[in-house]
A = this chain, B = another copy of it.
């Protein structure tokens, strides 16, 4: 009747003893409850409550070979991601979506070569069941190694390289989002429409530019390469692009900019050039980031459904872990009309 000095955490064995059944039965109740009589199940559940038992994931992982956790992997220019509010929405959304399945999320940042090696070793060692990948270009060596090792990976954003087909991905429909924005500019009577595109080595940059071109062509407007500028998604490049466009086309009356940050830069350049927005030049951005509302005038933009993207990434990842072969998911964007167009 004497208590042990050190109070141990209750194990499945304790539960079995209290419930008057065997360890196997408790284990069955824990994992699905098939092949267990209602009476036994009830006894086990009550014993679990009574003892305060929680499963030891380490023991479980050791035998099953699965960790019950997932990683959020960030490669490449981490600074840019961390500064991007949308990235934060994504990170939060993924964390919470996985938490609903009782799966903890490991945050991993692959910066240096050393960090990359460590991450590959950790993940391929089976200490993570799957990986949510955020990377600007998907020729990423880390991602490739993981995919080759058979780790389920779901990327955020369309892969640049279609032959990197082993990666599942979830992305917003950049092309259709761009199309919608340009149609909106056309509907407002704009005919001399320029664009500041994103980097052409990112799929988003390519698709938004493609959407822009398609709609102009469909509207029967002559294609003019001099109406296209390219930036790096940053504020400064937006301002520079707008200046160059205005120099070439003083009669510009519409501008589709591939990111809100660049759009803000473009607005400054337009103001400095004495153009009124939206009266003389209508401006549309992309992202619906905080920058869109940072100062007046509020930016008309295209919203990407980041909350849904995170949910879908988790859904696809869990499906892949379960062995299903879900691959690409493309989600619709939403046009947000404010003051600039």
- State the A residues within 8 Å of B (CB): 9, 54-59, 61-62, 67, 69, 72, 78, 82-83, 85, 88-89, 91-92, 95-96, 99, 102, 104-109, 111, 115, 118, 121-122, 125-127, 290, 294-295
- Within the complex, what minimum Cβ distance (angstroms) separates A81 from chain B? 9
Of the A-B pairs whose beta carbons lie under 8 Å apart in the complex, a sample of 7, sorted by A's number, is A58-B61, A82-B85, A83-B290, A95-B107, A99-B108, A102-B118, A104-B107
The residues of B that contact A92 with a CB separation of less than 8 Å are 78, 82, 109
Report yes or no: A57 in contact with B107, Cβ–Cβ below 8 A: no
Known: A54-B125, A56-B125, A96-B111. 10 other contacts (CB 8 A): A9-B125, A58-B58, A82-B85, A83-B85, A83-B290, A95-B108, A99-B115, A104-B107, A104-B108, A107-B107
Are A54 and B99 in contact, with the CB atoms below 8 A?
A: no
A106 cross-chain contacts in B, Cβ below 8 A = 69, 104-107
| A118–B122 CA distance with the chains assembled, in angstroms | 25
Q: Is the CB of B127 within 8 A of A57?
A: yes
The closest CB in chain B to the CB of A83 belongs to B85
**A interface, over-half SS:** helix
Chain B contacts of A89 at CB under 8 A?
82
Given contacts A9-B125, A59-B62, contact A109 B104 (CB under 8 A): no
Q: How far is the CA of A55 from the CA of B127 in the complex (A)?
A: 10
Q: Kindly identify which residue among B54, B58, B91 contacts A62, using a CB–CB cutoff of 8 Å.
A: B58
Q: Which residues on the B side are within 8 Å of A99 (C-beta)? A: 108-109, 115, 118
The 3 closest A-B pairs by CB, nearest first: A58-B61, A82-B88, A58-B62
What distance in Å separates the Cβ of A228 from its nearest Cβ neighbour in chain B? Answer: 28
List of B residues within 8 angstroms of A62 by Cβ: 56, 58-59, 62
Q: How far is the CB of A98 from chain B (nearest CB, A)?
A: 10
Q: Please, which residues of chain B bring their CB within 8 A of the CB of A125? A: 9, 54-57
Provide the residues of chain B in CB contact with A121, threshold 8 Å.
54
A295 to B115, CA, bound (A): 36
B96/A88 in contact, CB under 8 A = no
- Given known contacts A88-B88, A125-B9, A127-B57, is B102 in contact with A105 (CB within 8 Å)? no
Closest chain B CB from A132 CB (angstroms): 12
Q: Are B82 and A104 within 8 A (Cβ)?
A: no
Residue numbers in B under 8 Å from A82 (CB-CB): 85, 88-89, 91-92
